Structure 1
Amino acid sequence: MRSKVPKYVQIAEILKRRIANGNYMSQSFPGGPKLVAEFGVNYRTVRQAFQLLLDEGLLVRGENERLVQPGGAGRTPFKVAFVSSGYCCPADKWLLAVREAARKYRCMFCRVVFDTTDDAILYETLDGDFDLIFLSVGTPDGLLLDKIRQKKEKVVLLFADMSAEGIPFFDGIGNEACALIVRHLARRNCRKIDFFSVMQTPEFYTARRDVWEKTLKELNCTGEAYCVMGNVEEERFVQAHRLAAGFLKQGAFREADGVFCSDVEAAQGLLRAFADAGIRVPEEIQVASFGAPELAAMFIPSITVIRTPPLAPLAAELFEHFLGITPQPGRLRFNFDYRKFTEDELIMQGESTWKNEGGVP
């Protein structure tokens, strides 16, 4: 079926998305002849598309009437890249927060996607003409870590705190907030609270397990940890389901009245394994997790989780620091202190735990 939208409008929309994704950050904006050949249209159609972009201020006429992206009078635009695996969807709240902050401060923005941490695109991006690079690669090591150390004046790591090495760090709520979830379960009459995790970066999940273990001791509760290294080539919730089912066949979780999962994918797989085994949640066992409230709310039962406060204010602080608007010398960590929030602000109550304290539905 032919589209009723004029071709010049379709071309303009494609170019807008390319500009928003930073496709032309490291190359000149394409001229008319190139776009005529690319889209199979005549030059008049391309000129109409250009006029739409000029009218919206997405392009300006530079030297020799050549179309260029506006960078502001007398200055080179600040170039920002967000680098993550393909697992990060376009609606990811971290990606959205960085992209919106880049727009707010009139920075050029580019999203870079990689498959593995061996990809050349990671090293090329670090060597590229970027002023600020948000990098989501787990906990880097080896040659990649060496490269990040060399470029640390323009790199911000997401979720991996290496601020002790002078590398800036951007995160939401730290792992210390796991204590809130463990206490949440304990207040609902859980005395044996197990821990379940399918790990891909051990340091990340070990930190959450350590908080779980410490909090159990403080509450005089008990629990067992079930942690397995995952396969990066398989969806983690699928792995979690298979591994949890295997643990259940061996008698795991049978004496527990609560389980804290390291993340929502682990909780999703565990809930499916419980359902397959005829174990009712929360009637027989309660389940809670960390992060991804948007995803946690979609399951049946919905999962009780720690959620991250709105990221826009924190992203703004970070941009203003690097842009020199309100620099904060010596600051390397940009994350929330969970102690400044109430439990109601941080815990999203799902159907996987009792809504009131005392364990009575």
Structure 2
Amino acid sequence: MVKYKQISQLLEKRIRYGDYVSEDLPTEMNLASEIGVSRTTARKAIMHLIDRGVLMRGENGRVLCSQKQETQTSRVAFLTPAWPSSEMHIWRYALEKAAAKLGVQLRPIDYVHSDDPAIFQAAENFDGVFLLPGPEAFPKPVIDRLKRYPHLVIVGQDYSWADLLSIHCFPANHIRQLLDVFAAKNLQTVDCVVAQPIGPTMETRIGQWWEFKRDTDIGGDMITAKFKPYTMTMHNAYDLVSDYLKQTPCPIQPIAQTDLPHGLFCCSINAAVGASRAVADAGLTVGKDVLISAINGEEVNRYLQPSITCLEARDASQYLEQSLSWMKLKETSWQGSILMEPEQPSLFIGESTGL
């Protein structure tokens, strides 16, 4: 294949993936320098795409995506914190499936902090934005700016209190059913393990634990510390629980000495994994001496050894498709509740609470 056609294919692929939605197409000179070809070859590649209707010349002579190209495809961004998480991968997979079904182009974009310009550039330039918040709450000035964009959906957390459309898979009342697993086994102590920064989501989960203790007269400690957003929750939980078990006297004893097991309510699956390892390393048995549960199994809880009792996310595809259809139609007003969440929890009972 001749060189200019290879370059035109590369450009067309970038356009298809939304690489130039929030930035200008490269000039002939910049394209030639980037690819390592002559300016003449770069010009031929651009002219080839103009002839095919993929690109067009603007009034100022700059090369633009053609109006036909712009109107044919709805482009939606998926904004996520710039550190890896299984939650991010789960949402991205679900969004890619929904977007492919509806013929929408999905562009993943990272942001580093809550006031990152990347968030607002995406909201300005894409037909819609799905935003996965980090563990810490967006400050009020950022929320006020986000509210200016009509086609923005928060996923994974409930920001409906700020009048932002939200898809939330773990309503507060579902968490109580997870805690009631401990009550059904007549536990006297259930500690709460929080191994990540405490934002709105963690505050809700901790609040449910406090209410559970109040309603049942079950005791328990808060096992936590102050963490930065980019630290590893699993490692944090291991260190927290290990240190907790080193106290004198040890707050958790083998069931042979106490008659009843001890409970650990973990606010995330990664916290449960770290806690489980710390318990085992202390010579205790998960599911016998210590019962462990977690919120959001993130599709791994069933495959761990032992399997972890968890609230599992229900399929959110109907909410994603509804949101994408609304973005695709470019309608400004949302019809329906601004909080989309399942009515019934999905509770998996694993080996960690003694099957």
- TM-score under structure 1 length normalisation: 0.75
Kindly indicate whether residue 146 of structure 2 is the aligned counterpart of residue 135 of structure 1.
Answer: no
8 Å contact kept, 2:196–2:229: no
**Residue 143 of structure 2: aligned partner:** 145
**Residue 262 of structure 1: aligned partner:** 267
Instruction: Please report how far the alpha carbon of residue 306 of structure 1 lies from its aligned counterpart in structure 2 after TM superposition.
Output: 0.8
Q: 1:336 to 1:120 in 2, by over 3 A?
A: same
**Residue 343 of structure 2: aligned partner:** 337
Q: 1:263 to 1:74 in 2, by over 3 A?
A: closer
**Residue 3 of structure 1: aligned partner:** none
List per-residue Cα deviations over 1:306-330 (Å, max 9, x = no partner). 1111221221122234445997535
Kindly indicate whether residue 180 of structure 2 is the aligned counterpart of residue 192 of structure 1.
Answer: no
What is the aligned counterpart of 2:178 among 174, 181, 196?
181
List per-residue Cα deviations over 1:327-352 (Å, max 9, x = no partner). 753521122122xx5xxxx1233321
Rounded Cα–Cα distance in structure 2 between residues aligned with 1:296 and 1:15: 42
Kindly indicate whether residue 349 of structure 2 is the aligned counterpart of residue 353 of structure 1.
Answer: no
8 Å contact kept, 1:182–1:216: no
List per-residue Cα deviations over 1:249-296 (Å, max 9, x = no partner). 223444762211000121122112112211111121110101134232
Rounded Cα–Cα distance in structure 2 between residues aligned with 1:75 and 1:152: 20
Q: Alignment partner of 2:169: what SS?
A: strand
Which runs of no fewer than 5 residues in structure 1 stay unpaired? 1-6, 356-361
List per-residue Cα deviations over 1:165-196 (Å, max 9, x = no partner). 32111221323211121122333443422211
Identity of aligned residues (%): 22
Query: What are the within-5 Å matches in structure 2 for residues 282-361 of structure 1?
Result: 282-324=287-329, 329=335, 331-338=337-344, 346-355=346-355
Query: What are the within-5 Å matches in structure 2 for residues 84-163 of structure 1?
Result: 84-88=80-84, 92-126=89-123, 128-138=124-134, 139-149=137-147, 151-163=148-160
221-230 vs 234-243, which deviates more? 221-230
Q: Alignment partner of 1:92: what SS?
A: helix
**Residue 83 of structure 1: aligned partner:** 79
250-259 vs 167-176, which deviates more? 250-259
Which one-letter code corresponds to 1:111 in the other structure? P
Rounded Cα–Cα distance in structure 1 between residues aligned with 2:330 and 2:143: 29
Q: CA RMSD in A?
A: 4.0
**Residue 60 of structure 2: aligned partner:** none
Q: 1:218 to 1:8 in 2, by over 3 A?
A: farther
Matched positions, count:
335
Instruction: Please report how far the alpha carbon of residue 17 of structure 1 lies from its aligned counterpart in structure 2 after TM superposition.
Output: 7.1
Instruction: Please report how far the alpha carbon of residue 230 of structure 1 lies from its aligned counterpart in structure 2 after TM superposition.
Output: 1.5
Which one-letter code corresponds to 2:71 in the other structure? R
Q: Alignment partner of 1:156: what SS?
A: strand
List per-residue Cα deviations over 1:10-69 (Å, max 9, x = no partner). 9899778745652132356679997776456899x99xx99xxx9xxxx964558xx997
Rounded Cα–Cα distance in structure 2 between residues aligned with 1:325 and 1:154: 8
Rounded Cα–Cα distance in structure 2 between residues aligned with 1:224 and 1:89: 27
Which one-letter code corresponds to 2:337 in the other structure? R
**Residue 202 of structure 2: aligned partner:** 205
Q: 1:18 to 1:269 in 2, by over 3 A?
A: farther
Rounded Cα–Cα distance in structure 2 between residues aligned with 1:17 and 1:73: 13
Rounded Cα–Cα distance in structure 2 between residues aligned with 1:208 and 1:273: 22
Rounded Cα–Cα distance in structure 1 between residues aligned with 2:275 and 2:219: 20
Q: Alignment partner of 2:322: what SS?
A: helix
- TM-score under structure 2 length normalisation: 0.76
Q: 1:266 to 1:19 in 2, by over 3 A?
A: farther
281-290 vs 311-320, which deviates more? 311-320
8 Å contact kept, 2:310–2:348: yes
Which one-letter code corresponds to 1:289 in the other structure? A
Which one-letter code corresponds to 1:23 in the other structure? D
